[in-house]
Amino acid sequence: MRNRAPKLGFPGAMLALALVFAALAPQARAEETNPCFTGGGTVKEVLDACAAFIASGSTDNERLNTAHRVRAMALSAVGDLDAAIAELDAATKVESSEPNSYFMRAAAYDAKKDFDKAIADLDEAIRLDGKRGDFYMLRGIVYDHKGDLDRALVEFNEKVKLDPESSEAYSKRADLYRQRKEYDPAVADYSEVIKRDLENAKGYIDRGWIYVLKGDLDKAGPDFDTALKLHQNDPSALVGRGLVKSRKGKPTDGSDDLALAQQLEPGIFDEIKKLGVE
């Protein structure tokens, strides 16, 4: 798509998740040229093309539903969540049995911190299609945001059951286990993430911090070392390595790593504290 700033897509991690998982449009026809259905053009061009198609009086409900959802994406890309939700309202009226519309609207409501409406939409999406693991993952994330960690864990367990090869499923559940201070299952889930992508530095970093929280510095150190081999000068891994050095040796042994991390990302220490590390 030309002029890729801003990109089509919901703002925020949960809205991005909705775009990753939702099958937004039917397969594009070979002769398709309408930017609403090809994704070509600027955000404005896509918005205008979808608006024109909606106003055309078409009776093709599948494509009308898609046009409303694509407009919702484009509107969210320019920061207008309320207008995006209005488009998704229209999409559910055109095709009330299409679960992706509820899924996307739930992600928008989550971004607005309207968690009850988000959960209601996810309940409906799951009623319509109970085999989509991403629906359960988003519902788990919303419950997490509400502070209901027990219910969030139930949802993440269902996601893992439905999509056992999904690295994201194990990562989200491990994050939840960390919040619950259940470190052994968190290690197990982060190990599953690493197993599925040995070149992903984040998996080693996340597991390394769990080992720190467990007080197992002998296992934490190698994870941070591996992460830094894969992603040189990653601030979180540098803090981890510096902390391990300081706690296993002299207090000043990790000073260089800690100073570099602070220089690269000034707020990194606050982020690490959010993990529960003291």
Per-residue confidence at 31, pLDDT binned at 50, 70, 90? Answer: low
The pLDDT of residue 29: 52
Ramachandran sector of residue 243 (left: φ over 0; alpha: ψ -120 to 50; beta: rest): alpha
Q: Which amino acid is at 193?
A: V
Look-up: residue for tokens 């024109």?
52
Contacts of 191-198 with C-beta under 8 Å, sequence gap 24+, read: 192/167, 193/167, 196/165, 196/167, 196/170, 197/167
Q: What percent of the chain has pLDDT over 90?
A: 81
199-278 shares the fold of 1-120: yes
Tell me which fold the domain 199-278 belongs to: 1.25.40
The pLDDT of residue 201: 96
Instruction: With a cut of 50, say whether residue 8 has pLDDT above it.
Output: no
Taking residue 34's Cβ as centre, other Cβ atoms within 10 Å add up to 17
Per-residue model confidence as pLDDT tens digits over 63-72: 999 999 999 9
What mean pLDDT is predicted for residues 128-134?
97
Q: Which CATH number fits domain 1-120: 1.10.3470, 1.20.140, 1.25.40, 3.30.479?
A: 1.25.40
Domain residue extents for the chain: 1-120, 199-278
DSSP 27: P
Per-residue confidence at 43, pLDDT binned at 50, 70, 90? Answer: confident
Per-residue model confidence as pLDDT tens digits over 154-168: 999 999 999 999 999
Which ranges of the chain would DSSP assign to H, the alpha helix?
Answer: 13-21, 35-38, 43-55, 61-77, 81-94, 99-111, 115-128, 133-146, 149-162, 167-179, 183-196, 201-214, 217-230, 235-248, 255-264, 268-274
CA 188 to the chain's CA centroid: 21
Ramachandran sector of residue 186 (left: φ over 0; alpha: ψ -120 to 50; beta: rest): alpha
Per-residue model confidence as pLDDT tens digits over 205-261: 999 999 999 999 999 999 999 999 999 999 999 999 999 999 999 999 999 999 999
* Backbone φ and ψ of 26, nearest 5°: -65, 160
Q: What percent of the chain has pLDDT over 70?
A: 89
Per-residue confidence at 18, pLDDT binned at 50, 70, 90? Answer: very low
